[in-house]
Each structure stands twice: as structure tokens, then as C-alpha cells.
Amino acid sequence: MLTVLAVEARKLNRSLAGLLALLAPSLIPVFTFFNLMRGERGMPWEIVLTSGLAIWAFFMLPMSVTALTALVAHMEHGSRSWDHLRALPIPRWRIYAAKLICVLGLVAAMSLLMLGLTWGAGVLAGFVKPAVAPTGAIDWTEQLTVLGRMGLAALLLIAIQLWTALRFASFVPALSIGIFGTFFSTVATSAKMGVFFPWQMPVNMLATESWRADTALALGGGVGALALIAMLIHLSRREVL
């Protein structure tokens, strides 16, 4: 399994995945910096960091997952190398599991990078314009806990996007689902049923109503984990993609 993972990591290293992993998390800190510079006095760190988490969970995380899964799948679809990979003397599920692990690892790294860069944007804004320097102490345990819960709640979203991207040779179905899901969650932000919509589950980790956060976490994490297992079983049994 380690060999398969190493090969998959080398493929990603030669693709645009690295650029995506740096660019997507960087957009929120840039927005945070200029938003702070527009103010006249500093906001509490909790508001600054939580606002970054909200934007990440609401829009950038779903779109990043859409782009990343399409990219990971297209590395094989584009070169028509599935027949070669599936003919190798290794269990087929390991091929798909390696791609899944790489996607989950990159999403986790991007999430942490976003939080760290958002903190850096606040520090930089305070250095350039001391009057807007964020105030108060940072509860890193709370911020990381919320970020981790968002990652778990996003498992169902990741399963849907990766399953679709690997199943269809064309990148259109996966991109269409991702764009539709993100658009729908944007226009139906306050919908009560949004807690059951995979694209809104991560942002529900910031809900003030505990039942919404708990329901989204249970569905996104629990059902998402089952969906990922089902994906591995289904794809490994298919003879032709």
C-alpha cells in the first residue's frame, strides 16, 4: 500500500494539485487582509478566524474538492491508463484507496494552511496599520476543533465528488455536480433542510443550534465514511471505467 501511495504522490507532485493546494487556501487570507485594512479599529481574533472558517466551509472547500477530485481522476482518464493500472498484480481497491488518501490528505493540508495564512493576514494587517490589529487571545484548540469537524462533515461531499470523478471518464459530470451543489447551497443558505445537503454540512459546524451541527456531523462523517467504502467496493469490481 505504501508503494501505491508513493506513486500516487509523485503523480500529484507533477500535476497542478500543488498549485491548487496553495492557491485556494490563499484567497481567504488575501480577502481577510484587505477587509481588515478597510476598518478603523481591530476586531477580536475569534471573529477574524471564524470568518475565514465560514468562507472556507461555505464556498472554497466545496469548490476545492470539486477541482481536486476532477484533477486526481483526470490524471488516469486523460492518459487512458486505467487498463494498465488495473492489470497490475495488486488488489484493485488499493489503487482507489491511494487516490482517496491523497485527496483527504490534501484537503486537510489546505484547511490547515488556510487557517494559518488567515492568522498571518491578521498579523500583517496589524503591522501595516496598527489601529486594525486583531485583539484578544486565540483559542487554537477551539479553532482546530471546528476545522476538524468541518473536515469530517465534508466526507460525504468528498465521496460524492471523487466517486463521480473516478466513475466517468469525462470531467463534466463531476464539475457539474460540484458547481450545482455549491450554487444551491449559496442560494439556500438559510434553508432548514440545508443540514441534510452535503455541500452545506461543513458550514453547519458553525451553527448556533447544536442539533444542526450534530446532525450535519453525523450525516457528513458517518454516511460519508460508508459512502467512501461503497465507492472502493464498487470501483474495484468494475471491469471498465
pLDDT tens, 166-219?
888 777 888 899 998 888 877 766 667 778 889 999 999 998 888 889 999 999
Asked if 218 and 206 touch (Cβ cutoff 8 Å), the reply is no
Give 43's DSSP letter: P
Query: Domains in the chain: how many in total?
Result: 1
- Dist CA 64 CA 111 (whole Å): 10
Task: Please tell me whether residue 44 adopts helix, strand or coil conformation.
Answer: strand
* pLDDT attached to residue 164: 93
- Dist CA 104 CA 159 (whole Å): 10
In terms of Cα–Cα distance, which of 54, 15, 58 is closest to 35?
A: 54
- Dist CA 110 CA 170 (whole Å): 26
Neighbouring-strand partners of residue 135? 44
**217: containing domain:** 2-237
- Dist CA 162 CA 67 (whole Å): 10
Give the global pTM.
0.89
Percent of the chain surpassing pLDDT 70: 85
- Dist CA 52 CA 125 (whole Å): 15
How many Cα atoms occupy the beta-carbon half-sphere of 91 within 13 Å?
7
Neighbouring-strand partners of residue 115? none
37-46, 136-145, 190-199: segment of lowest average pLDDT: 190-199
pLDDT by residue (tens digit) across 47-65? 999 999 999 999 999 999 9
Higher pLDDT, 146 or 99: 146
